[in-house]
C-alpha cells in the first residue's frame, strides 16, 4: 500500500531527527564531569587514586548503591516516592542473617524469603497509596520506620555475622579483571531496566503514567496497576540490594543500611539530568553514582574529613533536584 506525500513527510519528520549539539552536550555533561573529576584527582594523587586497587574498590563497593538507585527510579518514573528502600535493604540483609546464620536455613531459601518480603512490602505500600489515596511520601516514610523497628526487634539491635561464605564469595570474592562480581550484577540490572523502559510496552506505559496520570488514564492505561507494579518492583530490588549488601560486608547490621537512602535519591535525581535528560533513566543514574563516589573518594584521599560525605550527598541531592526540575520543565515546554 503506497503512502501519500503527506504521510511520507510525517514519517521522515518522525524518524529523522537533526543532530542537536546543545542537547548532546547536555546529555553527556555529567559523563564529561565524571571524567574531568577523575582526571583532576588522578593528577593530584596518581599513586593512590589511579591505582587499580582503588578503582576496583570504587566500582565494586558502590554496586549496592547502584541497585538501590535502580529500585528508586522505577516508582519515581511513575510519580511515586519510595522512602522505604533503605529500610527494606536492611530488613532483607537481616532476614538472611537470621535464617541462614542463626537458624541454619540454606542460603537460597533465605534469599527467596528476603525477596518475598520485599514484594510484600511493595504490596503493602501500594495498598495504602492506591486504595486510601495517601501520598506515597507519607506511606513509604511510615513503612520504612516500621521496618526499622522490625529489624531492631529480630536482630536484638545487634550485628549478626556467620553468613554462608558462598554469599560473600559470589558477591565480592570472585572477580573478573580484578573487579568484584557485584559490579557486573549492578551493570546487568542497569541494562535490563534500560531495555525495559526503551523497548517494552509496560516500560513505555510506566513512562507515560509518570508524564501525566490523568492523560494516561484517558488513553486506556490502567494507571493503578502500573503504579502497583512499580512499587512491588522497587521492594524486590531493594531486597536484592540487601542480599548484595550482606554479601559485601559478610554480616547484617541493623543500622548501616539506612545510609543508602540519601545517596540513592541524589544519584537518581542527578541521573535524570544525564543521558536521557528530563526523565529518570538507568544509565544516567549509574553515571551519577560513580560521579558522586569519585568526588567523595578523591576528597578523602586528599585528607578531607569524613563529614565531606554528608556535604557532598546533601548538596548533590539539592542541586540534582533543582537541575532535573529545570530540565523537566524545559522538556514539557518543548513538548507543548
Dist. CA 85–CA 279, nearest whole Å: 20
- CATH for 22-335 is 1.10.3470
Q: Report, in this order, helix, strand and coil percent for the chain, each rounded to 5.
A: 80, 0, 20
Each domain of the chain, given as residue ranges in start order, spans 22-335
Cβ atoms of residues 271 and 64 within 8 Å = no
Phi and psi based region of residue 283 (left: phi greater than 0; alpha: psi -120 to 50; beta: remaining):
alpha
pTM of the model: 0.89
Beta strands in the chain (DSSP E): 160-161, 175-176, 179-180, 251-252
Q: Which residues of 98-119 are buried (b: 16+ CB within 10 A; e: fewer)?
A: bbbbeeeeebeebbebbbebbe
Dist. CA 43–CA 40, nearest whole Å: 5
pLDDT tens digit at each of 336 positions of the chain? 444 443 444 344 334 456 677 777 778 888 898 899 899 999 999 988 889 999 998 898 899 999 999 999 999 999 999 999 999 999 999 999 999 999 999 999 999 999 999 999 999 999 999 999 999 999 999 999 999 999 999 999 999 999 999 999 999 999 999 999 999 999 999 999 999 999 999 999 999 999 899 999 999 999 999 999 999 999 999 999 999 999 999 999 999 899 999 899 989 998 988 898 888 999 999 999 999 889 888 888 887 766 667 776 777 777 777 766 676 565 555 544
Cβ atoms of residues 74 and 233 within 8 Å = yes
Amino acid at each position: 500500500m503506497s503512502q501519500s506525500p503527506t504521510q511520507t513527510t510525517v514519517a521522515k519528520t518522525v524518524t529523522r531527527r537533526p543532530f542537536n549539539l546543545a542537547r548532546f552536550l547536555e546529555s553527556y555533561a555529567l559523563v564529561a564531569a565524571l571524567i574531568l573529576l577523575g582526571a583532576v584527582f588522578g593528577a593530584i594523587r596518581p599513586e593512590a587514586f589511579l591505582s587499580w586497587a582503588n578503582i576496583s574498590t570504587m566500582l565494586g563497593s558502590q554496586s549496592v548503591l547502584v541497585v538501590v538507585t535502580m529500585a528508586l527510579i522505577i516508582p519515581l518514573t511513575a510519580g511515586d516516592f519510595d522512602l522505604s528502600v533503605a529500610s527494606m535493604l536492611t530488613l532483607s540483609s537481616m532476614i538472611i542473617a537470621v535464617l541462614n546464620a542463626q537458624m541454619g536455613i540454606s542460603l537460597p531459601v533465605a534469599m527467596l524469603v528476603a525477596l518475598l518480603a520485599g514484594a510484600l512490602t511493595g504490596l503493602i505500600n501500594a495498598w495504602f497509596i492506591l486504595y486510601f489515596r495517601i501520598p506515597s511520601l507519607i506511606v513509604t516514610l511510615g513503612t520504612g520506620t516500621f521496618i526499622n523497628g522490625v529489624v531492631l526487634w529480630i536482630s536484638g539491635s545487634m550485628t549478626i555475622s556467620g553468613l554462608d561464605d558462598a554469599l560473600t564469595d559470589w558477591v565480592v570474592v570472585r572477580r573478573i579483571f580484578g573487579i568484584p562480581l557485584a559490579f557486573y550484577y549492578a551493570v546487568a540490572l542497569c541494562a535490563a531496566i534500560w531495555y525495559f523502559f526503551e523497548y517494552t510496552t509496560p516500560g513505555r506505559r510506566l513512562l507515560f503514567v509518570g508524564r501525566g496520570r490523568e492523560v494516561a488514564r484517558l488513553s486506556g492505561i490502567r494507571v493503578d496497576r502500573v503504579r502497583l507494579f512499580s512499587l512491588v518492583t522497587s521492594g524486590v530490588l531493594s531486597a536484592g540490594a540487601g542480599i548484595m549488601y550482606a554479601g559485601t560486608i559478610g554480616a547484617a547490621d541493623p543500622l548501616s543500611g539506612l545510609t543508602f537512602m540519601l545517596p540513592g535519591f541524589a544519584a537518581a535525581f542527578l541521573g535524570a539530568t544525564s543521558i536521557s535528560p528530563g526523565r529518570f533513566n538507568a544509565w544516567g543514574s549509574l553515571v551519577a553514582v560513580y560521579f558522586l563516589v569519585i568526588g567523595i573518594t578523591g576528597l578523602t584521599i586528599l585528607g578531607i574529613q569524613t563529614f565531606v560525605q554528608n556535604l557532598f550527598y546533601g548538596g548533590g541531592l539539592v542541586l540534582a533536584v533543582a537541575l532535573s526540575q529545570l530540565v523537566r520543565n524545559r522538556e514539557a515546554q518543548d513538548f507543548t
